[in-house]
């Protein structure tokens, strides 16, 4: 089977979508009878093995994203690749290109909902704009043979809005790359913090929906006994003595060392469709403090962390204190075990490819997909 992913969400400087697609390429390369191709925008058009690019201009202030101006070259390239299944990883021009190419080839097309567009639009531009975005998204996704979503909450919401071909497809983590064994004392030495200071870490884009301001205010309240390391492209420096920002691109090897060297992960985002960085922290043996919003409560069970109220720095700071008042080291061990049981990439991709084969064979039924990790994979 030949699967082709097409998306503008693949950039050279990281992000959860990039990590998902790179992991999928590696997994498919080791599977007999499986072929995989990624088609994404680039600075130039090129065919490099199983990663093809078509030139597209850079979006300003977008952390490296490029936006295709014309649909036709993408349709033609997808037809040239002739995959058995096409997966569209963004809800914009390339999603329409995927549908047109699938129609010409007579193959199924699936979409992956990596971001909650209506809620992001509503948060930035108001309720009316969010409703328009929701209508657009539902009209677009209704044309696909199936829509994959990474969290149960999002699957339930999409189905309640009338989208019935919804597949719950969790993401995963490389549990060898992200590992507690990568702990390194030089990280604390670099940060100039003592052993009794609790080291917190967050990695992600410096974007409004990540609610970095909540983390900063929580750190003001927590004081000198806690230190926060913020990792992400273009992360600015902050004038707080207990916050360090690493604003340069950090590859997965560096990131894994930073995570394994911390005491806990913190994430104040309440718009996450999954929270891949949370899984990577858990795989690194970290307990997690998150918020009761988005997909984070599905990952952060009471055994592995604490939940605060969304957009409430007082509640978040208290959740951090409550975490370290408990047996937080054992919570970190439980977090690692949860990842190993349910969220390894090999488990996730094996299930996803069963879904692809069902799509190709015309036997796909969202209600009949098997269970993954002890919870229903996609039957809403």
- DSSP assignment of 333-364, as one string? HHHHHHHHHH-BHHHHHHHHHHHHHHHHHT--
Answer yes or no: do 161 and 46 share one domain. yes
pLDDT 10s digits, 234-289: 789 899 999 999 988 788 899 999 999 999 999 999 988 899 999 999 999 999 99
Q: What is the CATH number of the domain that holds 328?
A: 3.40.50.2000
Q: Residue 248 in contact with residue 228, Cβ under 8 Å?
A: no
| Residue 313, pLDDT score | 98
Q: Is 373 left (phi over 0), alpha (psi -120 to 50) or beta?
A: left
CB 150 within 8 A of CB 224: no
pLDDT for the residue 12: 66
pLDDT of 14 reads 63
C-alpha to C-alpha distance for 301 and 285, rounded to whole angstroms: 14
Whether residue 235 is found in the same domain as residue 217: yes
Residues 107, 211, single domain; the answer is no
The verdict on 318 and 220 lying in the same domain is yes
> What residue ranges in the chain does DSSP mark as E strands?
2-6, 35-42, 46-48, 51-55, 85-88, 109-112, 146-149, 166-168, 198-203, 226-231, 243-246, 264-266, 288-291, 305-308, 371-372, 375-376
Q: What is the pLDDT of residue 122?
A: 87
Q: Is 47 helix (H, G, I), strand (E, B) or coil?
A: strand
Nearest to 216 by CA among 241, 233, 234: 241
Q: Does 348 share its domain with 338?
A: no
Contact 38, 120 (CB under 8 A): no
pLDDT at position 376 is 42
Are residue 264 and residue 198 in the same domain, yes or no?
A: yes
0.75 cut: is pTM over it?
yes
| Per-residue model confidence as pLDDT tens digits over 143-167 | 999 999 999 989 998 999 999 899 9
Give me the pLDDT at residue 19, please.
87
Same domain, 371 and 304: no
**Sign of CA pseudo-dihedral 188, 306, 112, 212:** negative
- For the chain, report the end-to-end CA distance as a whole number of angstroms: 27
Q: Is the dihedral of CA 153, 137, 363, 347 positive or negative?
A: negative
The total number of structural domains that make up the chain: 2
Domain coverage including residue 24: 2-172+344-376
Closest C-alpha among 342, 353, 359, 245 to residue 301: 342
Q: Would you say 296 and 289 are in contact if contact means Cβ atoms under 8 Å apart?
A: no
pLDDT at 366: 67
Asked if residue 91 and residue 13 are part of one domain, the reply reads yes
Residues 129 and 209 in one domain: no
Nearest to 55 by CA among 47, 13, 14: 47
pLDDT at 116: 83
Q: Which residue, 139, 117, 101, is CA-closest to 2?
A: 101
| 204 and 335 belong to one structural domain | yes
Q: Within this chain, do residues 68 and 139 fall inside the same structural domain, yes or no? A: yes
What was the pLDDT predicted at 62?
67
Say whether 207 sits in a helix, a strand or coil.
Answer: coil
HSE toward the beta carbon, residue 136, CA cutoff 13 A = 17
**Which segments in the chain show pLDDT lower than 50?**
369-380
Q: Residue 10 and residue 37: Cα distance in Å, rounded?
A: 13
- If asked whether residues 202 and 110 sit together in one domain, one would say no
Is residue 193 within 8 Å of residue 180, measured between CB atoms? Answer: no
Strand bridging mode 46-48 / 51-55: antiparallel
Burial of 365 (0-12, 13-18, 19+ CB in 10 A): exposed
């Amino acid at each position: 089977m030949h699967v082709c992913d097409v998306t503008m969400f693949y950039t050279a400087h990281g992000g959860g979508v990039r990590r998902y697609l790179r992991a999928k390429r590696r997994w498919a390369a080791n599977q007999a009878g499986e072929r995989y191709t990624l088609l994404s925008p680039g600075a130039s058009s090129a065919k490099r093995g199983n990663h093809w690019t078509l030139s597209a201009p850079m979006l300003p202030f977008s952390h490296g994203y490029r936006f295709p101006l014309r649909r036709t070259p993408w349709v033609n390239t997808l037809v040239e690749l002739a995959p058995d299944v096409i997966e569209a990883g963004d809800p914009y021009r390339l999603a329409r290109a995927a549908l047109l190419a699938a129609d010409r080839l007579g193959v199924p097309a699936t979409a992956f909902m990596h971001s909650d567009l209506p809620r992001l639009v509503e948060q930035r531009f108001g309720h009316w704009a969010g409703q328009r975005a929701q209508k657009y998204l539902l009209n677009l996704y209704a044309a696909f043979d199936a829509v994959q979503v990474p969290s149960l909450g999002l699957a339930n919401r999409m189905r309640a809005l009338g989208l019935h071909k919804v597949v719950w497809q969790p993401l995963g983590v490389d549990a060898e790359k992200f590992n507690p064994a990568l702990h390194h004392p030089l990280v604390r030495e670099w940060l100039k913090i003592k052993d009794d200071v609790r080291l917190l870490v967050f990695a992600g884009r410096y974007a409004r929906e990540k609610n970095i301001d909540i983390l900063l205010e929580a750190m003001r309240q927590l004081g000198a006994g806690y230190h926060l390391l913020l990792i992400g492209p273009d992360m600015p420096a902050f004038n707080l003595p207990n916050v360090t920002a690493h604003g340069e691109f950090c590859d997965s090897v560096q990131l894994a060392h930073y995570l394994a060297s911390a005491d806990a992960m913190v994430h104040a985002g309440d718009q996450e469709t999954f929270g891949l960085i949370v899984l990577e922290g858990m795989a690194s043996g970290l307990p997690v403090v998150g918020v009761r919003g988005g997909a984070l409560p599905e990952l952060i069970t009471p055994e592995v962390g604490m939940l605060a109220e969304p957009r409430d720095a007082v509640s978040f700071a208290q959740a951090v204190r409550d975490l370290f008042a408990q047996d937080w080291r054992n919570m970190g061990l439980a977090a690692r075990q949860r990842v190993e049981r349910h969220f390894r990439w090999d488990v996730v991709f094996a299930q996803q490819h069963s879904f692809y084969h069902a799509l190709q064979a015309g036997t796909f039924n969202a209600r009949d997909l098997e269970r993954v990790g002890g919870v229903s994979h996609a039957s809403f």
